[in-house]
Structure 1
Amino acid sequence: MEATKQNDDVVTMVDVLAQEAEMDEESSAVLSGSDENKCTYNDGYIKRQALYSCLTCTPEAKDNASLAIGCCLACSLVCHESHELIELYTKRLFRCDCGVKKGSIKCQLDFSKKLPNASESSSSSNNTGLKQQPNEHNQYNLNFSGLYCTCKRPYPDPEDEIEDVMIQCVVCENWYHGRHLSNGKNVPDPSAYSEIICDACMVKHEFLQDYVGLSVETVDPEESRNESTLNVTSLDESALNDDCNEVKKMKMSDDACIRPKIAINEGEVKNVKATFWKDNWRQSLCKCVKCVKMYEDNKVQFLLDEEDTVHYYEQQGRNKPKTTIYDSSLQALSNLPRVNQIDAISSYNRMKEKLFEYLQTFVNNNQIVTDDDIKRFFNTMKESNDNKNVHQPHFCR
């Protein structure tokens, strides 16, 4: 919280509540799709949910991500409170691991409801706080070990002095530093693209290279014209969208394939790099029988699901009915009698001024503010309030 920037730049209680509302909005986008009171294990492999990796329960996961436990929001709050958790943002098609037999903790939440087609033995094991065998379809990348990017470093990285954005690949769901993507080229403006696919996934799923005409150009304009590049044919975006609309009206067959092709000159080498994709680029993927089979073989059929995107998930969270801190705080303030409203605002202003003065001493002495320093401040404020009952003077008119 910033008390003042200049003497005439005052931050009011409403400003603070508005800032809290903005943070609440961002939190809702990621977490409101998840239930903080219910373990998601019985829901199976959910399309997308907020996840956490617990390194307290499986410390060996620091060296081997496949041994990690990925737990849902509710389990992170109840079963793994005070544990060393790695926030994974969101992951697709993942089933909560809390309480599976590879872990060292029993799930404390109610998941005793019998699963469809579950055996009696499986149901009885639930009563012990342990779930069924480890979730064999879960995928674990190095993020579960608390490492990210091709550099395999933690985030935030205490040894990295370079400010950089972190971007998630929509295929492997690993997070990357912007400077480590696109062969080191500059990352486009965030408003210019909606999703990215990293270098490794572009190589692994070669068919995606045929759609680079739908991506945002990231080639350095000063690159030599003699450098080997891809010659893209039949990739006019509007024409491709028109073709896709036509295909939707037709009966799907191998003959209806509209997948564009890239022409490579003889002796030319593909310059494959991370790709930044424009809005709705997935809608232009060919959906003929042959291509759909190819997506399934590559295990990327989720690219055809509009509900798979992080944008869709976040929008669902934002649309979920909720009472924000901003709304509830203003409502509580407005319900107070007029005298108490003035006292509350005056107390806040006094606390703000005292906190600013207190923190300024650390700035002047070039000292780091610790948790103990903040606790000491509020303990002092509490003792001060206990020893004297100060009210803002009120004047009748």
Structure 2
Amino acid sequence: MADNEGNEAAVSLVDVGDDEELREALAVLAGSDPNQCSFQQGYMKRQAVFACNTCTSEGMGPAGVCLACANHCHDGHDIFELYTKRNFCCDCGNKKFGSFECKLSPKKDSQNVKNLYNHNYLGRYCSCDRPYPDDDDQVGEEMIQCIICEDWYHSKHLGCAAVDSEELLEMVCESCMNKAPFLWTYAAYFATPPVTSKENEDVNVEKETSYSCRSGHDEPSTSQGCKKEQPTPRNGDRTESQKRTHEQMERHSLTCQSETTQCQLKDLKTKGLVRPRVGSVFWPYCWRSKLCTCTDCKRTYVEAGVQFLLDESDTVLAYENKGKELLREDLLMSCFSSLDRVQQLEIIYQYNDMKDELHAFLRELADQGKEVTPEAIYTFFEELRTRKKRRSNAGQHSCS
């Protein structure tokens, strides 16, 4: 981006996310291959997906492309970043793109019949069917993704108030709850208590007793939720206690399924706890392990198109954790493999020193109300290089 005089525009510190936000953004992309089209892998369990407004139009129907095709085939185009989608196969270069041919995998099926599309692929979101970012939205309201339909919703259109917290949970919109109505029974026991959007007060349920995810189905808890603390409904705010690895999620899911001997949903219905069937529902990450896995319930999940809820590794958090593991492997192990132990330690020490000095530099600019410009960053690294040379020279001794 350039200003009217042709100079590179400065980046304000308020536009620079913290380390955790950067790691989350990188993890979304790290879980997908940036160079090889994902088409050969078929309908991937989850991947980063993009839509190209340059190559497709609303009249041509929605289409999505993988990360590699967004980088190589659609570089410089008007791209919508759709975050991640489940069970998606890359459309780049198929009949939806007319005469446009994929550079990475030109021989593709004419269409991917199992792909599920929504208005996100046309650059619109939420029940209000608005673009993001929205030029008419002066507030710039945060959006939250439904884990079932994977559409994104403004907080004001959730039908309930979103609760701020340091912990993440998953959200299911009201429409998807009604498409899988048995989820309302689970919501009465394991979801965050509903909050009205106007008064921001708890909605009373027919009974005051709820059940804790940690204590199981048989022990009542007075907290009316899965945990005493209220989790946040926003992707990205997570505590370390909620962060399980991809392998741990799969192992935990298999353990829970193997222990199921009777219909847990019927047991919950007999307890009689009821929740108002209005508004979106927020669930802590423990909730999927509480879904019944008896034969009848599994059939119900398939009929409602939500069988993926039984797979805890389906979550965006599992995908991001896997991406972070790949990041560590790609950025560290590939470099360290050719170095001895002393060289590895030296790199770690140098990296930590540079990180501390860079943070101090950025903090100083922020305290002074200055902007982070390319020239300032260049000057910082030049001074850092000069200081390193001085330290190296100071350690050299000559013998006479």
What TM bracket, shorter-length normalisation? 0.5 to 0.7
Match of 1:139 in 2: 116
Residue 170 (structure 1) aligned to one of 147, 155, 174:
147
Match of 2:193 in 1: 217
Q: Are the counterparts in 1 of residues 89 and 112 from structure 2 also a CA contact under 8 Å?
A: yes
Quick check: which has more Rg, 1 or 2?
Answer: 1
| Counterparts in 2 of 1:93 and 1:246: CA distance versus 1, 3 Å | closer
Q: Quote the Cα distance in structure 2 between the aligned partners of 1:288 and 1:357.
A: 60
Residue 66 (structure 2) aligned to one of 72, 82, 98:
72
CA offset at residue 56 of structure 1? 1.2
| Counterparts in 2 of 1:47 and 1:223: CA distance versus 1, 3 Å | closer
CA offset at residue 98 of structure 1? 0.6
CA offset at residue 99 of structure 1? 1.4
Q: Quote the Cα distance in structure 2 between the aligned partners of 1:308 and 1:169.
A: 13
Whether 2:259 is the aligned partner of 1:249: answer yes
Match of 1:8 in 2: none
For residue 166 of structure 2, give the secondary structure of its aligned residue in structure 1.
helix
Q: Are the counterparts in 2 of residues 97 and 135 from structure 1 also a CA contact under 8 Å?
A: yes
Q: Quote the Cα distance in structure 2 between the aligned partners of 1:304 and 1:135.
A: 25
Match of 1:27 in 2: 25
For residue 160 of structure 1, give the secondary structure of its aligned residue in structure 2.
coil
Q: Which amino acid aligns with 1:152?
A: D
Q: Quote the Cα distance in structure 1 between the aligned partners of 2:256 and 2:64.
A: 42
For residue 141 of structure 2, give the secondary structure of its aligned residue in structure 1.
coil
Give TM-score scaled by structure 2 length.
0.65
Q: Are the counterparts in 2 of residues 165 and 177 from structure 1 also a CA contact under 8 Å?
A: yes
Deviating above 6 A after TM superposition, structure 1's stretches of 4 or more consecutive aligned residues are 1-5, 244-247, 262-265, 356-360, 394-397
Residue 89 (structure 1) aligned to one of 58, 83, 86:
83
Match of 1:36 in 2: 34
For residue 176 of structure 1, give the secondary structure of its aligned residue in structure 2.
strand
Q: Are the counterparts in 2 of residues 233 and 260 from structure 1 also a CA contact under 8 Å?
A: no
Whether 2:304 is the aligned partner of 1:298: answer yes
| Counterparts in 2 of 1:232 and 1:322: CA distance versus 1, 3 Å | farther
Which ranges in structure 1 are unaligned for 5 or more consecutive residues? Answer: 6-15, 112-128, 336-344, 361-373, 382-390
Match of 2:56 in 1: 58
| Counterparts in 2 of 1:310 and 1:256: CA distance versus 1, 3 Å | closer
| Counterparts in 2 of 1:280 and 1:83: CA distance versus 1, 3 Å | same
Q: Quote the Cα distance in structure 1 between the aligned partners of 2:269 and 2:138.
A: 42
Q: Are the counterparts in 2 of residues 142 and 148 from structure 1 also a CA contact under 8 Å?
A: yes
Residue 208 (structure 1) aligned to one of 168, 183, 187:
183
- Deviation string 1:203-228 (CA, Å, 9 cap, x unpaired) is 12111111112111132496899x9x
| Counterparts in 2 of 1:139 and 1:233: CA distance versus 1, 3 Å | farther
Whether 2:330 is the aligned partner of 1:322: answer yes
CA offset at residue 106 of structure 1? 0.7
For residue 167 of structure 1, give the secondary structure of its aligned residue in structure 2.
strand
Q: Quote the Cα distance in structure 2 between the aligned partners of 1:270 and 1:38.
A: 47
* Paired residues for 1:160-199 under 5 Å: 160-181=137-158, 183=159, 185-199=160-174
| Counterparts in 2 of 1:186 and 1:358: CA distance versus 1, 3 Å | closer
Q: Quote the Cα distance in structure 1 between the aligned partners of 2:216 and 2:85.
A: 34
Match of 1:312 in 2: 318
Q: Quote the Cα distance in structure 1 between the aligned partners of 2:256 and 2:39.
A: 41
Match of 1:126 in 2: none
CA offset at residue 69 of structure 1? 1.8
Q: Quote the Cα distance in structure 2 between the aligned partners of 1:197 and 1:296.
A: 17
Q: Quote the Cα distance in structure 1 between the aligned partners of 2:140 and 2:127.
A: 17
Q: Quote the Cα distance in structure 2 between the aligned partners of 1:2 and 1:153.
A: 27
Residue 152 (structure 1) aligned to one of 100, 118, 129:
129
Q: Which moved more, 1:188-197 or 1:290-299?
A: 188-197
Identity of aligned residues (%): 36
| Counterparts in 2 of 1:81 and 1:153: CA distance versus 1, 3 Å | same
- Deviation string 1:77-114 (CA, Å, 9 cap, x unpaired) is 111111111000000000000111221311111x4xxx
Match of 2:278 in 1: 272
Q: Quote the Cα distance in structure 2 between the aligned partners of 1:202 and 1:247.
A: 23
Match of 2:287 in 1: 281
- Give the number of equivalent residue pairs: 313
Match of 1:342 in 2: none
